[in-house]
Amino acid sequence: MKPALPPQAAAPQKAPPPPEARTPETPPQIDKTSRTPKVSEVADAEYRKALSAVRRGSLAEGVDGLRHALQLDSRHAQARQALLSVLVDQKQWREAQTVAVDGLALDPTQSSWAMIAARLLVEQGEVARAAELLAAHGAPAERNADYQAFRGLLLHKLQRYGESAQRYQAALSLRPAEGRWWYGLGLSLDADHRDAEAQDAYRKARDSGTLPPDLAAQVAQKLR
């Protein structure tokens, strides 16, 4: 009897053909030309338009435009500075003070705004508040000679003579040829009973050659 033969192995099935490769769809193109401008860009355009109006003498239009620019972007420093300049020139003190103080609340490093706000307080007889404001914003103005001298003047008015002398000295370290500040330093040293130092300051004020006639006469009187 013949041995049984093993059954024939089934013929291997062919693998199904791979799916046809599909070309990836091209993503839709974004039209960047119709982009909505940012608020800051709109504010900047308004600022430039307003500045042009101011330069051609249309102050009312310019002021309105600068106000609008700040309404759009309260941190637009150039618009705030331009508005302050126009308001001060037009003697609109109350609004100028508001614009300066609001700006300082947003950016305490703006020394020029602090000086404007302080000068307006002095005009209202509030010297102590003006001095406090300058002190509060004094750190960024350490290298600002005018700022330091203004602090010296206000501190002298408040009879804080030692502090006044320090501020004048800080200003003179930055701008040593300013005769008015040597005279201011001399007055503060005099009031602080530092006579020899005061006389030296008066001499430097005289020798600076920058004093107007009225101050030169006062210095000459101090040196007699």
Neighbouring C-beta atoms of residue 214, cutoff 10 Å:
8
Cβ atoms of 212 and 220 within 8 Å: the answer is: no
Give the tens place of pLDDT for each residue, 6-18: 444 344 444 455 5
Does domain 143-224 correspond to CATH entry 1.25.40.10? yes
Cβ atoms of 154 and 127 within 8 Å: the answer is: yes
Cα 73 to Cα 140: distance, rounded to the nearest angstrom: 23
| pLDDT score at 9 | 39
Buried b (16+ CB within 10 A) or exposed e, 173-208: ebeeebbbbbbbbbbbbbbbebeebbeebbebbbeb
Cβ atoms of 190 and 199 within 8 Å: the answer is: no
| pLDDT score at 40 | 87
Task: Please check the confidence at residue 179 and state whether its pLDDT lies above 80.
Answer: yes
**pTM of this structure:** 0.77
SS3 53: helix
Q: Per-domain residue ranges for the chain? A: 39-90, 101-141, 143-224
